Amino acid sequence: MSLLEFRDVSVTYRGADADVPAVRGVSLSLDAGRTLGVAGESGCGKSTLASTVLRLLPESTKVTGEVLLNGEDILTMKWGKLRAVRWSEAAIVFQGALHSLNPVQSIGKQIAEPISLHKTSKNPNKRVGELLEQVGIPASRADAYPHQLSGGQRQRVMIAMALACAPSLIIADEPTTALDVMVQAQVLDLLSGLVRDLDMGMMLISHDLGILGTSCDDLAVMYAGRIVETGPAVEVFDRPEHPYTQALAGAFPRIGDPQARYRPIGLPGDPPYPGDIPTGCSFHPRCPAALTECSSVSVELRDAGPGRRAACIRVGS
């Protein structure tokens, strides 16, 4: 049984004028002890997808499909059970650590909050100290305020908060954006280490295909609310099949590759707004390899090699 499984999940926001389909029919799975990377840019629906795991979306949002955590569907869970599940079985490390921390509370207090709520430890302060050490911050700094810490340290505090109730699943949403490369490497190392040592599952969300390709086991690429490619992370990064993945990979050139000198790879136009998705294959207006059929025919994920799937008309059969 997978730790986490999305079965044909669709999320539609109720907008003022029209409904906005942020996620359209996504199916993914993640096993314990493994890392799943979800790659995509703004508007692709990756953060929305992550929010469904803890049912954090506003009441007016329409969510269909199933989100199974250890076999139980989150979407139909009773409120009491959901509250118990939140944080103790699955936790999120949110985007933008700077703004997710309460500036007027010490970090120790904030980490202790879920612990006290879920009553998972008899001695919250001791547990806070353990957590801080686990993420590489001296336990003595538990009384510090967020503004007294650096960006990298704040991110670690977010991770410590996520670990507070020893969840089996961690979702990290853009954990390294706005961090320097060196600190980024430290945080990624920390996350991989934790997954290994604590046998958790991790869903890592980012627009940086590079870090996903090198720190995750499996990789799924999202565009306009749909999954357009999946496979083992290393392979998807190294030999992308879908034209969008190719462009995304190209945006992070291989240093040392003479092909990439003076040849920046990018796509014309912009990622589509979820309320304004093109017909047919949603990628076709920007696709360098688009065929005439692409504007009217939408393709499902199809086989593109062993363990690989891509939603492109040019791939597979």
Partner 1 sequence: MIGARDLSVVFGGRVRAVDGVDLEVDAGEIVALVGESGCGKTTLARTLLGLEKPTGGQVLFEGQPLDYRALKAYRRQVQLVLQDPLGALNPRHTVYDAVAEGLRIHKVPGDEQQLVADALSRAGLRPPERFFLRYPHELSGGQRQRVVIAGALVLQPRVLIADEPVSSLDASVRGEILRLLLSLREELGLTVLVVTHDLGLAWNIADRIAVMYLGRIVEVGPTAEVLSDPQHPYTQALLSVVPDIGHTEQIVLTGEPPDPARIPGGCRFHPRCPVVMEECRSATLPILTVEGVHRAACLRTNP
For partner 1, the binding residues (CB under 8 A) are: 41-42, 150-153, 180-186, 189, 207-211, 213-215, 234, 237-238, 244, 247-248, 250-258, 260-268, 270-271, 286
With contact defined as beta carbons under 8 Å apart, do 19 and 28 qualify? Answer: no
Residue with tokens 């490619």, as numbered in its chain: 229
Q: CA 212, 217, 221, 225: dihedral to nearest 10 degrees?
A: -110
If the CB atoms of residues 238 and 293 are measured against partner 1, the closer one turns out to be: 238
Closest distance of CB 195 from partner 1, Å:
17
Q: How many CB atoms lie within 10 A of CB 238?
A: 11
Any residues with CB less than 8 A from the CB of 238 and at least 6 apart, and which?
Answer: 213
Q: Which of 13, 88, 14 is nearest to 49 (CA)?
A: 13
Cα-based angle 44, 37, 185 (whole degrees, multiple of 5): 115
Shortest distance (Å) from residue 97 CB to partner 1: 15
Kindly state the smallest distance separating residue 188's Cβ from partner 1, in Å. Answer: 8
- Whose Cβ is closer to partner 1: residue 226's or residue 286's? 286
Using the minimum distance from each CB to partner 1, give the nearer residue, 27 or 186.
Answer: 186
Distance in Å, CB of 214 to partner 1, minimum:
4
- Nearest-approach distance from CB 38 to partner 1, in angstroms: 14
- Closest distance to partner 1 from the beta carbon of 192 (Å): 11
Pick between residue 58 and residue 268 the one whose CB is nearest to partner 1: 268
DSSP code, position 157? H
Query: CB-wise, 29 or 177, nearer to partner 1?
Result: 177
Which DSSP string corresponds to 21-69? EEEEEEEEEE-TT-EEEEE--TTSSHHHHHHHHTT-S-TT-EEEEEEEE
CA atoms of 244 and 214, how far apart (whole Å): 19
For partner 1, the closer CB: 190 or 294 = 190
DSSP 255-271: TT-GGGTT-----SS-P
